[in-house]
Chains A and B, each alone.
Chain A
Amino acid sequence: MYNYVGKSLPRQDGYDKVTGAGVFTHDVRLPDMLHAKVLRSPHAHARILSIDTSEALALEGVRAVVTWENSPRVLFNASDAHTGTMPPNKPVLDQYVFDNVVRYVGDEVAAVAALTPGLAEKACGLIKVEYEVLPAVFDPLEAMEEGAPDVHKTELKNTPVPPFQIAIGNFQEAYESSEYKVDVSMKVPVQKHAQLETNAAVADYRDGRLTVYSTTQSVHPTKQILALIMGMPESKVRVLNPPYVGGAFGVRCGLSAKAEPIAAILSRMANKPVRCVYDREEDFIASDSRHSGYLQAKLGADKDGVFQALEIRGVLNKGAYTSFGVEVVGVMCAMSLAIYRVPNVACHGRTVYTNVQAGGAMRGFGNPQGTAVVEMAVDAMAKKLNMDPKEIRLKNILEAGDPWCLPFMNSSTALAECIEKAAERIKWSEKRNAFKAGKIRRGVGLAVGNHVSNAWPFCVDFDSVYLRLEADGSLQLATGVPDIGQGSGTTLMQVAAEALGSEFETVAITFSDTETTPFDVGSHASRTLYAVGICILEAAKDLKRQVLEYTAAMWGARAEDLTLERGVIRGAGGETPLRELCREAHLLSKEFIAVGRTTPPNAPSWHAHAAEVEVDTETGMVRVVKYVAAHDCGTAVNPQIVEGQIEGGVAMGIGYALREEIVRDEEGVPYNNGYHKYMLATAGDMPEIEAIIVECSDGSGPFGAKGVGESAMVPSAPAILAAVEDAVGVRYGEMPLTPERVLNGLR
């Protein structure tokens, strides 16, 4: 039994957030601060022939105007991939802060800093730009064709990185000789993070030093990118969250849609702090999205439904710039190949440039796309064999220790239990294949999957943390990892208190500030608790050793006979509160301080989702009636926080399946540029969601914990599509399931 791990302790940031006292980047106000506004391209692809900023500069109150002509000509990658791409792959550096070619509607053309936001906006309107409109391409399949416009010059047509491939066994042979074969395809939409706080930064450059308050979810990599762009030593660039971030979901793994360099450059030009806050429309059209694209899965099985061969092929829409490139297709292919025991697997994933906003990281990171098509194939196979979709899954899922395509161990799984629990709670045996008639039809569906607990082996992934005992025995924890709302600040404090043996009430945390914390790659890949937690364990072990050895020396005892728990040292007949020991040590000039440094391994987090839907066959409306999400997240360090992650992920997954999509006209202008047009769900649209935690502790994680942040998003779309199929007999191959698509399928 643990003292703090496994308990739903209240969040450490709760007070700040319910009183309005918590500071977000949008709230940062510096003395004498200027306001920035960005001028964006109205064209999907154009060359800038000339820019005249004289009228804008002449406007009273304007302090600086920046364009491609007077900004750093430094190529970079706006995401963590800039410094986190795993060798031998190289990061794709394909953009400048401003360029003389614009590549999508919304691309940055110029920016103004002025005394008020209104003046900055007015000045943007006074900038005269002459464009030569170039041919544009929006669909990745078209962009691959000979003769399509080149978004960037690349060796393989519009393809920034070589396609990602895996081949184990002999897929082709095994597939052809399989008794049963299915071949399915899907088209997946552009989904948007739609986090509540838009991308923003407040930069203060003075005397060769730069401080940037930012909405980023990775302060250290953002510091590295900024230092490169600004031509400054990394040590002189401070990036921090102030400390709260209004959601992220992947949209700012790295720069916050370039708000940081724009504010920084303007600050250096104007010699004043500059606030650059995007409005909601800019956030929708000019920050990264989930990759849309085309997917295909081929699955072969023997007559008993045992899988023999599986192949996934995908072409994802990269958009105009590479943030994460090979990493997203890598996760898409590798994770969805790592659900079932299949001796012969293959994949081929390609990302292709087009003239739309960049595809980047978004909760699930390629896995929702891959899992959607694999689960579609599994359902198709079950149908072909006349097997229960639940039974075919139980028959084929990986067990712990089974070999797979990933370079880390399949160390633990409770997927079978997740499937059973989800099925039971949705009343699978009673409802699946129940008789349907009439206008409104109900159905149930099931989907399963697996996700990571950190970014390795897809990206560089490591951290360091400091742990330090104050002279009164209270504990300071410093980590560079942002808390973007998931609650990692709280769970990491729980891990620290448990690992050292401190009283939780005496633990404090500093996070996401490059000046006060050691390196951390960021808050992404469901990694914060797992990876940073492992690092904390290491630091705590060292700190505890220091404390116990010191006590042992004082007592003339052996360190191994002493324990430290809840702030009290005991053993060898003695007992002393940590408080007193630290006070005495302080007077003898001794501080207890430790650094944890780790390159974490990885661990699979498993999930099974079951959905019940209602389809109105006259209007085409699909409504989720009930939703069950069972997750093997290892040890739930804070069960309430875990449930929150699952519920939020399910809501996003339901949106992916049923509502959310950005569509564009023939000129590449996005239609869905705000919450209403994007149809983001409100409370009334949500079904009853039941989150089930199936604890299956993993040896590698802190106290057995694994990732969970992204995984609730991963299997939700296929679970809903399967339920719709059960209701109306059609397996839809295109999301979201708008009423129009549903009715078309029923015809």
Chain B
Amino acid sequence: MIKRIRFHLNGEKKEIEADVSLSLLDVLRDVLGMTGTKHGCGKGECGACTVIVNGKAVNSCLFPIMKAEGAEVLTVEGLQKGGELHPIQQAFIDKGAVQCGYCTPGMLLSAKALLDENPSPTRLEVKAAIGGNICRCTGYVKIEEAILSAAELIKEGR
């Protein structure tokens, strides 16, 4: 069944027609052609598809598109502001937290949701916030360091 759905995507109004059985991830990647959000398993087991919906990090592969009606959705494409990288993005580059980069969009959004809520997390809180995001390349070390350093950058207002 095709339905009309309205929501905000990265601050812009979106009105689309989509099959109600689709997930938010399907709509992002296949209907809107926004492939920054990754598909790693489709089952809620890897976090590669993490986006922020109404301030909360969710697995978009499990998020029915109908539930996005009226929601504010933030994806990796919406992190940059006016051509400037978000401090979390910058910290990921500076700290060497990016290797293959496939987990990166999901990690960034999990980190953003954490720092929006808790600007001074401990390392354990960082680990918990990315607990649903799998990375096979980094052993998580530099990802954790990047998120902790992003917290500092944000506090310093950079």
Binding site for B on A (CB under 8 A): 8, 10-11, 13-24, 26-27, 29, 193-198, 244-249, 279-280, 484-487, 640-641, 643-644, 647-652, 674-676, 680, 682-684, 686, 689
Contacts and interface: CB of A to CB of B under 8 A. Distances in A.
Contacts of B34: 20
Contacts of B130: 682-683
Interface in B104-119: 104-105, 108
Contacts of B46: 196, 280, 675
- With most chain A CB atoms within 10 A of its CB, the pick from B39, B98, B130 is B98
B40 interface: yes
Nearest to A654: B139
A640 B46 CA distance: 25
A682 B131 contact: yes
Interface in B28-43: 29, 33-43
Q: How large is the interface on B (under 10, 10 to 19, 20 to 34, 35 or more residues)?
A: 35 or more
A488 B131 CA distance: 28
- With most chain A CB atoms within 10 A of its CB, the pick from B35, B95, B102, B143 is B102
Q: Which 9 A-B pairs have the closest CB atoms?
A: A20-B36, A485-B100, A17-B101, A246-B102, A651-B139, A20-B76, A27-B35, A14-B93, A196-B102
A491 to B, nearest CB: 12
Contact of A245 (B75, B79, B100): B100
Given A675-B45, A683-B131, A20 B98 contact: no
B19 to A, nearest CB: 10
A729 B64 CA distance: 52
B35 A20 contact: yes
- With most chain B CB atoms within 10 A of its CB, the pick from A247, A248, A649 is A247
Contact of A676 (B45, B77, B79): B45
A682 B139 contact: no
B53 interface: no
11 contacts: A18-B79, A19-B77, A29-B33, A248-B100, A280-B41, A647-B138, A648-B139, A674-B45, A675-B41, A683-B144, A689-B139
Given A19-B77, A27-B35, A247-B102, A279 B141 contact: no
Contacts of B80: 19
Given A24-B35, A279-B41, 18 more contacts: A16-B101, A18-B85, A18-B89, A19-B36, A20-B34, A20-B76, A27-B35, A196-B136, A197-B102, A245-B100, A280-B41, A485-B101, A486-B99, A643-B96, A644-B142, A682-B132, A683-B131, A683-B133
A246 B106 CA distance: 13
- With most chain B CB atoms within 10 A of its CB, the pick from A196, A644, A652 is A196
A17 B128 contact: no
B94 interface: yes
Given A22-B101, A675-B46, A682 B133 contact: yes
A33 to B, nearest CB: 11
B85 to A, nearest CB: 7
B56 interface: no
Contacts of A247: 99-100, 102, 136-137
B127 interface: yes
- With most chain A CB atoms within 10 A of its CB, the pick from B76, B101, B103, B108 is B101
A249 B136 contact: yes
A8 B137 CA distance: 18
B93 A648 contact: no
Contacts of B39: 26
A235 to B, nearest CB: 30
B100 A197 contact: yes
Contacts of B128: 684
A674 B41 contact: yes
A644 B126 CA distance: 19
A648 B103 CA distance: 13
Interface of B: 29, 33-43, 45-46, 48, 75-77, 79-80, 85, 89-90, 92-96, 98-105, 108, 126-128, 130-144
Contact of A680 (B35, B36, B134, B137): B134
Contacts of B135: 196, 683
Contact of A14 (B42, B92, B127, B134): B92
B99 A280 contact: no
B132 to A, nearest CB: 7
Given A247-B102, A648-B136, A196 B40 contact: yes
Contact of A18 (B100, B108, B142): B108
Contacts of B101: 13, 16-18, 22, 244, 246, 485
B93 A10 contact: yes
B100 A280 contact: no
Nearest to A197: B102
Given A18-B104, A484-B100, A686 B141 contact: yes
Contact of A20 (B37, B45, B92, B132): B37
Contact of A26 (B38, B43, B138, B141): B38
Contacts of B36: 19-21
B99 A644 contact: yes
A346 to B, nearest CB: 36
A18 B92 contact: yes
B142 A643 contact: yes
A196 B103 contact: yes
A646 to B, nearest CB: 8
A364 B122 CA distance: 34
Nearest to B77: A20
Given A23-B35, A674-B45, A11 B96 contact: yes
Nearest to B146: A18
Contacts of A21: 36
Contacts of B96: 8, 11, 640-641, 643-644
B139 A196 contact: no
A680 B136 contact: yes
A8 B96 CA distance: 9
Given A197-B40, A683-B144, A18 B131 contact: no
Contacts of A193: 136
A674 B99 contact: no
